[in-house]
Amino acid sequence: MRPMAIMIENHNQARPQSGLYAADVVYEIPVEGGITRFMGLYTKMPGLIGPVRSCREYFVDRALEVDALYVHCGGSPMGYAYIAKTKIRSIDEIKNSPPFFRDKIRKAPHNLYGNGEALYRYMSKRTDMRVKTQPVPLSYGVRNELGTESGNYLKINYHGNYTLVIKEEKGVYHRYMNNILHLDRETKKPLEASAVVLQVASMRVVDSVGRQEISFIGSGTAWILENGKRTAVTWHKATPRAKTTYLDANGKEYLFANKGQVWIQVVSPSTKIFFEPVKEPEQKAKAPAKTEVKTATKTKAKTATKKQSKEEKKNS
């Protein structure tokens, strides 16, 4: 099967998501408004998947690595332009609605879902969904040695409203988004990864909405957490269709130990990251605020929430 690269939302109203557990690789990359977005890369047909959201051009660069079918709903102007430029096989729900449906339990725009089999059948009538050999997104094999640093904890301060903690627990890595364990919506089971890649890439804001420009062409710093160890590597990607490779300090390509799910966490050079738990500074207890202050704070919080919601709707 031609791999599918499916855009998945990570707004707090989209959690928990469906079907991320079935992906070979899950990319988490910042978009605008202080939020991130996922792209699940599937080499086998997933079941229920969603909520499906819009295109950003830098995700396309990762989908091109395995010549995937890029699945999305809408997109930024730059995203649409890049799809046309690269000629990646894609399916946009706005133009091709039959394989998608809206979940009546959730509110739009956080309620668009798809099904792997339905997507495959629909697209098989429009493009070649069979490939001669199965593309492999990462390099696998047996490594003689791993890094010597501890690799059982990672904290990423993506935004003031969003912190991600990844912990190795019972031989797998679990995700905690704002201290809440990341579960699959249907199975109620936690997402599990065999390895985590922390990739640093240059980013800059390019418009008034806050959309990002992220460069995946070139090279940069990265770390790989696997089997409780952390290995410092350098990532390399020559062209949009070239596979991203990870080289260790000796210039050897990093080989992932098994074909379990891998998370690739992309951050900017200014993002705060921690490889060990940081003890929060102790604070003295404060006297309760007056009733008038509480009311004002609550009103202010509601206003901030409405503003954030409006920003997210723009990010379709």
pLDDT at 294 (0 to 100)? 42
pLDDT at 296 (0 to 100)? 42
**pLDDT tens digit sequence for 177-223:** 999 999 999 999 999 999 999 999 999 887 777 777 898 999 999 99
pLDDT at 118 (0 to 100)? 96
How far is residue 234's CA from residue 237's CA, in Å, rounded to a whole number?
10
Q: What is the pTM for the complete model shown?
A: 0.86
- Mean pLDDT confidence for 20-33: 94
pLDDT at 258 (0 to 100)? 73
**pLDDT tens digit sequence for 163-181:** 999 999 999 999 999 999 9
Residue 248 pLDDT grade (very low, low, confident, very high; cuts 50, 70, 90)? very high
254-290 as b/e: b if 16+ CB within 10 A: bebeeeebbbbbbbeeebeeebeeeeeeeeeeeeeee
Higher pLDDT, 62 or 305: 62
Percentage of the chain modeled with pLDDT above 90: 76
Residue 274 pLDDT grade (very low, low, confident, very high; cuts 50, 70, 90)? very high
Higher pLDDT, 288 or 2: 2
